[in-house]
Amino acid sequence: MKKLALTLTAVLMMGGAAMAAPVKVGIAAEPYPPFASPDASGKWVGWEVDMIGAVCKAAEMECEIVPVAWDGIIPALTAGQIDAIMASMSITEERMKTIDFSNKYYNTPTVIVGPKADAMTADAEGLKGKILGVQVSTIHEAYAQKHFKDAVAEIKVYQTQDEANQDLVAGRIDATQADSIALDDFLKSEAGAACCEVKGAVADDPDVLGLGVGVGLRKGDEELKAKFNAGIAKVLEDGTYEEISKPYFSSSIYGG
């Protein structure tokens, strides 16, 4: 699989801007739909693959996608086999000790989902007196305990998000809080589509919810970092980001 070295040139050469060797962008070799997964013919497709193409194009770089096993992806970067990681890697303090990160390019927002009939906003005021369901030991439970504990009537803790979703349909809870991607499938299901909708994203709290996903780079590779940051900023600005996201997600995943 690795030998096949599936390449995807995502760049249109601009004018006379001559390019050096292509930037090798590592993605995780393990499928992670809808972000990156091989299709039937072995070609890598997904939101993140599209985003790599768009960011590289915006930053006027020639990029080559290199699948690397997830557990060896940081060593591959530091050893120079790849030049950047775009594999849904969250920016964490632990990783920052070894590598550097660009600005985030997505941070799946944490959303509140509730019944269509019930008007509410995704803050303490809107959830006042309601029963909120969350999955146990997730950042969402931590967030709810920190921000909504005093406002809501009860925080109900579920073993799985599926059970919380089921109880939302059954009317046993008034709202649930989870990752927007996790709730996307539920809202696309028959029961979910009939009953509920996204009420909004909760206010960010990096202490609890983390810092989002950025491009992993070698420490000190400031030139590439600047390029990726510029590329990310550009796709966000010119609407490419929205365009790419639309087929995959029902709402923007850039996060607040």
Residue 101 Cβ, how far from another protein at the closest point, in Å? 27
CB 7 within 8 A of CB 64: yes
Q: What is the dihedral sign for C-alpha 156, 159, 162, 167?
A: negative
Query: Which of 166, 229 has the CB closer to another protein?
Result: 166
**Cβ at position 191, least distance to another protein in Å:** 9
Total residues contacting another protein (rule CB under 8 A)? 13
Q: Interface with another protein includes 140 (CB under 8 A)?
A: no
Token pair 């770089």 is at which residue?
61
Shortest Cβ 89–another protein spacing (Å):
24
CA 216 – CA 176 distance, rounded (Å): 32
Cβ 168 to another protein shortest distance, Å: 10
Query: How far is it, in rounded angstroms, from Cα 246 to Cα 256?
Result: 18
137 binds another protein (CB under 8 A): yes
Pairing of strands 131-135, 175-179: parallel
Among 136, 193, 203, 226, binds another protein (CB under 8 A): 136
- String marking each residue 141-180 x if it binds another protein according to CB under 8 A: ---------------xxxx---x--xx-xxxx--------
φ/ψ bin of 23: left (φ > 0), alpha (ψ from -120 to 50), beta (otherwise): beta
Distance CA 208, CA 138 (A): 10
Instruction: List residues binding another protein (CB under 8 A).
Output: 136-137, 156-159, 163, 166-167, 169-172
